[in-house]
Structure formats: structure tokens, C-alpha cells
Structure 1
Amino acid sequence: MRKSFLLTLLGVGLNILPNFAQVKEASLNIGIGPKVKMLLSKMTLEEKVGQMTNLTLDAISKTDAAGKIVEPHQIDEDKLKEKILKYHVGSFQNVAGHTYDRKHWFEIISAMQRVALQDRLKIPALYGIDAIHGVTYTIGSTLFPQEIGMAATFNPKLVQQIGGISAYETRASYIPWNFSPVLDVAKFQTWPRIYETFGEDPFLVKTMGAALIKGYQGNNVGDKYHVTSTMKHFLGYGAPLSGKDRTPAWIPDRYMREYFLPPFIEAVKAGSRTVMINSSEINGVPVHSSKYLLTDVLRKELKFDGIVISDWMDVRYLYTRHHVAASEKEAVGLAVNAGIDMCIVPFDYTFYDYLIQLVHEGKVPMSRINEAVARILQVKYELGLFERPIGSPEDYTKFGSAEFTAVNHQAAAEAITLLKNNNNILPLKKSMKVLVTGPAANTMRSLDGGWSYTWQGDQDDKYAADKNTILEAIQQKIGKNNVAYEKGATFDSLQNVNATLEAAQKADAVILCLGETSYTENVGNIDDLNLPAAQIELAQQLAKTGKPIILVMAEGRPRIITPAESLSSATIMAYFSGNEGGNALADILFGDVNPSGKLPFTYPRNANALVNYYRKNLENGNSDDAHGYNPLYEFGFGLSYTPFRYSNLRLDKANLKDDESVNISVDVTNNGARTGKESVLLFISDLYASIAPDTKRLRGFDKIELKAGETRTVTFKITAKDLAFINDLSKPVTEPGEFKVQIGDQTKNFNYQTTAPFKPAIDGKL
């Protein structure tokens, strides 16, 4: 960064700091609680409702006569002053169109805070951004694998490190609030937001989610290197009945508590300070109007005391989409009384105007307004915004550094999952001639996915031009002379097939890169989980050449690939693995990295066989049903270039009693000739229960690294609480009986015994 640029930025900051020094001096040695109470007592209703209002950056940006954002982007000073000085708007979010460099982010945040200091009470503004796999909207940031790739690492320590780096670079963009992590349990494989989640298993989601939150927030969310996280989307968003985004779900309370609530319980324990709400409706009730979920469950049961923020326009949608409110004004009342503290409006003053009217009419109590605003002020104080409204450019010398890139490469390498390796065809020799083909081979969009530089990630190839696509990484790895390239197909149509087949004939192996381009939210909705026919046909045509096919899937959800996968010699799941995904994949293909990823979801074999691994026994099929559980690859599956052997599974007691724990140990041996990492997964099955038990559930995991020939003992500690399920009264219960432990190919049973009186979960009546 040029010295003159630093001085310019610091000059802007210095214009702000004297005013903030006055605020800081007046509140020295006062705890945050009394500060909030003191400030709240000085506020008018209008100032309070302004704090509850969140607008998009578009609302304070310069536009042309047609209303289009002027490029390059500029803040409209008059609009900004109106928003803050007249309407007292307390927070902003998003971007106006595309990504910005750090200099422009500094200008945006500085302008906001400068105007905020001109308001009567000098309350700093709060800015939020969707930095879901790195700082999405800042040029030069470190874009990690999407959450689904993070999950595939089964490495919480690495995910916490990712969170710390993402927080650092978010603060380096002068933004203190991150709309992440996504804690939705992804139940339906067609859902377009699967890649934003940690997968289908509640234990994996809650463990990785808590790790990411701890990385974001650190030991002090208010220091200059950390941000507040946002749990999203509360609750049940990952189970739409249609499999499409923002469509209704039907989830019984017991089922909700068994599968969807645990990640949020863990996230609250981890200290997350804000939560964003599910845009859809559950059992006919939009979550934004559900007092049961937002107040009774989130506030009273989970004891969450941070900010509850709506998702984009979702309060208005109670009227225009859900039709549970007869007017937009009624929608505002429903949402705020249900428990919404802050509304992403996001463009106008409707929420502000209607809420003030509702308070005057007695339809929203003043106590509810005070409650919401106190939470908002509390978080602003916790973030240190009153003392440090913006950061200093000099504090972030590691932004986009080689150090951060190395962690990104490790994350991608540990995420990428080897699913098939017939006759150990992988790793390939670097002297081989290869054809790289397929629609995902030469685009960063299939590595980064959505929420990358832009909302849909559709400008990745521009903003990540200095990163390696899969093709470029392979060329760099073995030399351009050993690599031929033909696209072969777009994502939905064949292209230059004859040239592609001719190139395949001259190659020793074909690296076929299929999958999806970038997308998110409704734009990613599909009517057919099958991979588009053109991509399958390309695989079938290439198979006729007789050359071995290395099938690489770069995708955000498990599209059906069975006809193509049956023709491959090796299959690799690359997910949306981020800016280092191409390099990590090349390292794996040619043996410089030993793969260690495992699937965080069940990969279906057929488009209408969408069952999660923790299925019920009825879904397993029987002698009269040839269509039972039979996925292409099961949750937790993943190969290595070295074989691992599990042995000597043992429990320190055969009978687990109340207030006791059982230690479960297994020996893991690297039987191969090279070092490898292995995720050791503990599954436990409740063999008989008053509510039909899941076939098995993940109850623990640990990732270890073993040298060739090395053996290590891995131990898990399990209590009765870890074995509990939610009964028909929506209460957690562990019933006495027999349980089966499974780690790798090892199994062993134990019994749980209780001295407490046993009451069945169901009384037998219909």
C-alpha cells in the first residue's frame, strides 16, 4: 500500500476520532450495561426506531436519472445525511453491485461514521456483510472453500483458523459484523443453499459452526481483528418440502428439536451475538412472525440475548408473499411483537414510519422497542464502535497474504474428497499426457461458487483472474506441453465434441471436470437433480475412447452423476473449494497431497432416492423392497492414497449408568507407505427406543495424521446425554437399553442403565 494512500486514509480517520474521544471520556469505567441504560434513557422513540432500521448500501449511493447505481460507486452525501440525521438509521449492509477494494470500503465506512457523529447522540453506525467463506466483497481477500467444503475437512481446528483469518480480513475492510455462519442442517439435496451449510448431520453442523464462530469472535469480539458472527437462518431453513429456496417446510416440533435446533444451541453457547431469521414458513407460520420460535424458544429456552435481525425484505413479505398480514403496517407489528429487533427493510423508511405509528397506537409496546434497542446498543458497545468506529489501514498488513493463502490451500486440500480409485490409478504420473475437459475445467465460478465477489459469483473469472482454474493449476503442475484442453460442453450443451474426442485419443488419461456454475438462493433452484444430459453424454462419448477417466465434480450439491460415474476410473468431489481449489486438486491428482476429505452429505444414486444417512430402519428396504437405502456414496465416506486399518475397538465399561461416562477407544494404523490424514468418525445406534430410532448417528469425530506404519489410539468420551433423542413431548430423553458403537469396520455394544423411573415417550394411544 502506498504511503500517500495511508496518510490520506488516516487523515479521514483523524477527522472522526476527536468526537469519539468525547463519547469515550464521558463513559470511562462504566460497564456496558449501565452505558446502554444511560444512552437508552436519552433516546426519543424516533431515534430508537432508527436503530432498529437496517438499509442496504444502495439506499445511500449515487444513482443516475434512471435510478441505476453510478459506477464507480460513490456515496451520496445528501442521502446519507437524510438516513442518519433525519431518520437516525443505525445500520447498513450489503454492496451496491459488486466488490470493492479496501480503500473504497474505508471511504464508505468513514463517511457513515462521520455523519453518525453529527447526529444528536453520536451513536456509531453498524455495518454488516455476507463474508461467508472469506470477505466476499473485498478485492484481494482470501476466499476459502464454502462451508460444505469446510465440513468435508472434519477439522474444527482448521475451521476455527479460517474464521480467525476471515474476521481479520473483514475488519481490514473496516466492517465489524459478519452474516455467517450458516447453521442450517441441509436435509434436501436439491436445495440450492447446501454448499453454504456444513452438511446434513446435526453433530457435524453444530461442531463446525461453533468452531467458525470462535474463529470470528476470538476472545474479544471488540478487538480490531475480530467480528461478531450471525447465526443463520433460525430455524428449519434447510428442509423445504419442495427442495427449493424460500418455500414452505413442514416440521413437527419434536423433529425440529432433534435435527435443526442443536446447531443454534451450540452457537449460542459459543457466544454468537446476532441471529438472522429463516425467510420461509414452517407448518404455515412464517418464522418472522413466530413468537413461539423467536421468543419462547430462542430467547427463553436458548437464553439468547443478542440481536435478532430479519432477512432481506422478509418483514414486508409477511404481507406481500405469505399473506399472514393484511397490510405492510400489520406485518411490521407482527414481526416486532414476535421478536424481530432489527429489520433489513432494505431501501426505504416504511418500517420506520409504520413502527412509530404502531407504538403511538399501542399495538407495539414501548417495552418491546426498548428491549430491541438495548440489544443493538449492547452489541455496538461490545464491538468497540464507540471507541474505534473504523480501523486503521496500518493494522492489517497480512490482508491477502501468503500466510493466509497457505491456510486456504490446506483447507481446500483437506476438503477435496476421493470417492473412487480403481486399481490405484491415482495419483497420476507427472510425465503423463492428459486431456482436461468439461465445463468446470477452466472457470473460477465452479471453484468459488456464489457469494464470491458478487452475490451470484458471476464475475469470479474477472476478480479472481490471478488465481488458477483447474486447467491452469494442472498446466502449472506438469507443464503446458503435457496438457491438452477442450471444453467439450457447456453446463447444459455439448461443444466441440469431435475435437475433444480427438484430443482424448492422444492423451494417457482424461480429467473430466463436470458440475455446476456459481449460484445462490432462488437463482439456484432446479427442477431436476440429475446432472444436465449434455455433461453425462460427454462422459459417455469420452468413455468410448477407452482412455481412463478421472471424474472431478465441482458443484455445490450432489447432482446425480450415476451414469457418468459408472464409467470413471476415479471420482473426486471438489465441492466449491475456493480460490486455492484448483491448486489443491492438482496436488491431489499428481500425488503431492494425500486426500483426506470425507463426504458431509449422502451422495444419492438416483434422483428420487434422497435419504439422509441417519434414516429410519423402515427406509433400509427388505426382501420385498429393492428400493431401500442404496446411495452412490454414504455420508462420511472418503478414500486416501494410503490404507488405514481400524482395530481393537474397546469400551471401558459394558454398562453405562447415570452420571457416568464411557470411554470408547480404537487403534488406527497407517498400513501404507506414505503419510496420511484420517477422520475417525464415531457412530452410535440406539437399537430399540419408544420412538423409531435412527439407524445410526454421528456422535464424535477426530482428525489425525499418521506416518507410514504408525498406530495411534483415538478415544471418545460419551455420556447418557450424548445418547439422547427428543421424545413425543419434545423433551430430550435417554432410554435404558442396548446401544451399538461403530468406528470404521469395528463394532461393539453396551447397555445404558438408569436408576430413575422410566416413562415411555409414547403412551401407546393414537
Structure 2
Amino acid sequence: MSAPISDISGEHKVYLRFLGKARHFLFNLRSFNLTPAEPIPAAATKAVEVSVALGCAVNGTAQPSDIAAAVKMASQADVALVFVGVDQAIGAEGHDRSHIGLPGVQSDLIKAVLAANPRTVLVISSNAPVAINWEQENVPAIVGGIFAGQEQGHAIADVLFGDYNPAGKITTTWYASVDDLPHFHDYDVRKGRTYMYYQGKPLYPFGHGLSYTTFEYANLEVTASALKPQKAVGIALSITNTGRIAGDEIVQFYVHVNGSKVQRPIKQLVDFARVHLEPGETKTVSFALGHDDQALKYWDEAQQDFVQEPGKIDILVGASSADIRLKGAVNLMV
């Protein structure tokens, strides 16, 4: 960025201050400070030139010249980055979206840029899930920056340049279509809402998130065959970084209750653990399942209380709610 500011010249870092709590703005950037220029590190042998084009507004409106300018810039770049998503002007509390796709011509912008430069990275900077089905099938790389906060610029840049290996997992189910959801005013979660009751295939399941490395799960152990009142069973497994760079994995522990007289979740999250692993390193991850854990109970209308049923409990461990790597079982005693 270059601009004459009070006769100050040279290279400067610009810090954009996050104000927050502004209606209709996810990020309200209104002021900045300047610090003295920092020397270019000796290790930096080649500068990175970044060019920016609007493409379209967040609400998806654009002039033909806006998209044309973005396409021209992308065709001349080594790598094209397209930032899309929704903010509080599109969807917020008391201001709901009518669909879950990208607004307006955002998807058209992505397709045009990708056609101009096949080395395109899509960055989802959004306050809500969006159905990016075509993009998932066609764009070579997608980075999610969901509610990433005031430091998202630095965080996303670190991921894109390979200075940080991402390990985040999404905390919602990303549906492929609004048709996969029950009626808007039907709040019964058991009718296909969330990973606990949705029977279909989502675009991205709850707990999904990729890394620049890969992980192998093995050696599941359950310390007891029966879970007795006022007791707990231990669950342990080994996880290995099978890739070439260090990374974090978020190991997720779910349960499923079998043979219930009422509808129970397909699976329910009990616990998770974030583990850092160097290339080739193996660590043991441990969890505990207590007899009184909420995931083992359901609400009984007649008793007006949470109750349990005896029976088989499936132990499920994996990288997401849809990517279960290890399975075991324990019998719940009541």
C-alpha cells in the first residue's frame, strides 16, 4: 500500500483496528496507525506483489467492469485468491437469509477467475455456512476463515504462504442445499438438524477440517467392557503424523446409544483433544467416559428428568463426525 500521509514516505506497516458491535458490518475498519518501516529480511530473495480488485460486493452486486478487472488481474497473476462469503448485512440475528448459497454473482466471479487462472484459491470469509457445491468440485484449494476475527488477515496469509499448518474444524454442519433442512419454523432438531440427526450427505460434516499433513489412527483400547454407576471407562488410541511436516490434529470422540425406546442421536460428541505431532511422531490420546455423561441420557417426559437405559454404547473416534477411524463398544449398566 502506498499513499502520501502527512508527508511520511517509505514502506510502512498498516494496522486496521477492529471496532466491532457495528450493525451490518462483520468487520468495521475505520482507522489505522503507522509504525516506522521495517527492513526487508535478508532471507527474502523475492518480493511478493499483491494486486487487489473488488470483483463484486459482499451482497453479490457488481458492474460488468468489476468482474472484468478481477479476471484480467487473475490472468496476469501466479496465483489468484478469491474471497467470498456472507456478513451481517446478508444474515444476522433477526435478519435471515432466504437461501444458503453465495449471494448474487459471487459464484459467477469464482468461475470467471478460475477460468482465467487455474491456480485459484478460494477463501471463505464468512459468518455462516454457505453451499459451495460447484466450488468444492472444481476449485483446487479452499480455505475456511469462519468468524476469524480481527487478525484474520495475518492468519489467512500465514496459511496461504505455508507458514502455518491449519488444524481448525468446523463446528456446524454445512448442508449442500436448503432443501436438506426442515421447514424454517420447525425447531425439532430430530427432524434432520445437525450432525446428530441428519441422515443425508452434507457438503462438509460437523468437525471437518483438513491439514497440510496426514494422520493415522490406530490401536483403540477401551479399559472395561461394562460402564457401571459412579464409574468411568477409559478410551485410548494412538495417532501418527504420516506426512512430511508438523501439524495438529483434533481427535474427536463420539458415542451412539443402541436399542433405545426413543429416538437417539446418530452420534453425539463427548470430547475432543488437539494433538501436535512432528513428522513420523506417534502419541497416545486418552479420553474418559463417565457413567453420568450427558451423551448417555435422554429426557423422559413422564419422569420430567434425564434418564438412562441399559445397553450397548458404540465408541466412535475419528477426524470428523463423518470420518470415524476407530470403533469400539461398552455396555452401560443402570
The alignment's TM-score, normalised by the length of structure 1, stands at: 0.36
1:603 CA displacement: 0.9
Partner SS, residue 700 of structure 1: strand
Whether contact under 8 Å (1:663, 1:718) holds in the other structure is yes
Q: Is residue 537 from structure 1 mapped to residue 108 from structure 2 by the alignment?
A: yes
Residue of structure 1 equivalent to 2:138: 567
Residue of structure 1 equivalent to 2:82: 512
The residue type equivalent to 2:140 in the other structure is S
Residue of structure 1 equivalent to 2:61: 493
1:696 CA displacement: 0.1
Q: Is residue 733 from structure 1 mapped to residue 307 from structure 2 by the alignment?
A: yes
Q: 1:524 to 1:478 in 2, by over 3 A?
A: farther
1:733 CA displacement: 1.4
1:478 CA displacement: 10
1:645 CA displacement: 1.0
Within-5 A mapping of 1:347-746: 452=20, 454-457=22-25, 460-463=28-31, 465-466=32-33, 482-491=49-58, 492-495=60-63, 496-519=66-89, 521-522=92-93, 524-610=95-181, 611-615=193-197, 619-620=198-199, 629-722=200-293, 723-729=296-302, 730-744=304-318, 745-746=325-326
Whether contact under 8 Å (1:505, 1:547) holds in the other structure is no
Q: 1:748 to 1:525 in 2, by over 3 A?
A: same
Within-5 A mapping of 1:161-176: none
Deviation per CA, 1:70-108: give whole Å up to 9, x if none. Answer: xxxxxxxxxxxxxxxxxxxxxxxxxxxxxxxxxxxxxxx
Whether contact under 8 Å (1:540, 1:567) holds in the other structure is no
Partner SS, residue 235 of structure 2: strand
The residue type equivalent to 1:748 in the other structure is G
The residue type equivalent to 1:503 in the other structure is M
1:559 CA displacement: 2.0
Q: 1:604 to 1:459 in 2, by over 3 A?
A: closer
Report which stretch shifted further, 724-733 or 636-645: 724-733
The residue type equivalent to 2:99 in the other structure is D
The residue type equivalent to 1:741 in the other structure is I
CA RMSD of aligned residues (A): 2.4
For the residues of structure 1 that align with 2:149 and 2:130, how far apart are their CA atoms? 19
Partner SS, residue 178 of structure 2: coil
1:614 CA displacement: 0.5
Deviation per CA, 1:221-248: give whole Å up to 9, x if none. Answer: xxxxxxxxxxxxxxxxxxxxxxxxxxxx
Whether contact under 8 Å (1:509, 1:550) holds in the other structure is yes
The residue type equivalent to 1:578 in the other structure is G
Partner SS, residue 123 of structure 2: strand
Q: 1:506 to 1:720 in 2, by over 3 A?
A: same
The residue type equivalent to 1:513 in the other structure is F
The residue type equivalent to 2:195 in the other structure is Y
Within-5 A mapping of 1:141-156: none
Deviation per CA, 1:309-334: give whole Å up to 9, x if none. Answer: xxxxxxxxxxxxxxxxxxxxxxxxxx
Whether contact under 8 Å (1:601, 1:634) holds in the other structure is yes
Partner SS, residue 650 of structure 1: strand
Whether contact under 8 Å (2:131, 2:203) holds in the other structure is no
The residue type equivalent to 1:679 in the other structure is I
Whether contact under 8 Å (2:26, 2:88) holds in the other structure is yes
1:456 CA displacement: 4.0
Whether contact under 8 Å (1:555, 1:574) holds in the other structure is yes
The residue type equivalent to 2:165 in the other structure is N
Residue of structure 1 equivalent to 2:186: none
Partner SS, residue 29 of structure 2: helix
Whether contact under 8 Å (2:27, 2:150) holds in the other structure is no
2:332 paired residue among 752, 756, 765: 752
Whether contact under 8 Å (1:691, 1:727) holds in the other structure is no
Whether contact under 8 Å (1:494, 1:535) holds in the other structure is no
Give unpaired runs (5+ residues) of structure 1. Answer: 1-443, 468-476, 621-628, 755-766
For the residues of structure 1 that align with 2:270 and 2:314, how far apart are their CA atoms? 12
Deviation per CA, 1:437-485: give whole Å up to 9, x if none. Answer: xxxxxxx79xx6xx8053444772204x359xxxxxxxxx998753222
Q: 1:478 to 1:651 in 2, by over 3 A?
A: farther
Whether contact under 8 Å (1:676, 1:706) holds in the other structure is yes
1:523 CA displacement: 6.2
Deviation per CA, 1:112-142: give whole Å up to 9, x if none. Answer: xxxxxxxxxxxxxxxxxxxxxxxxxxxxxxx
Partner SS, residue 105 of structure 2: helix
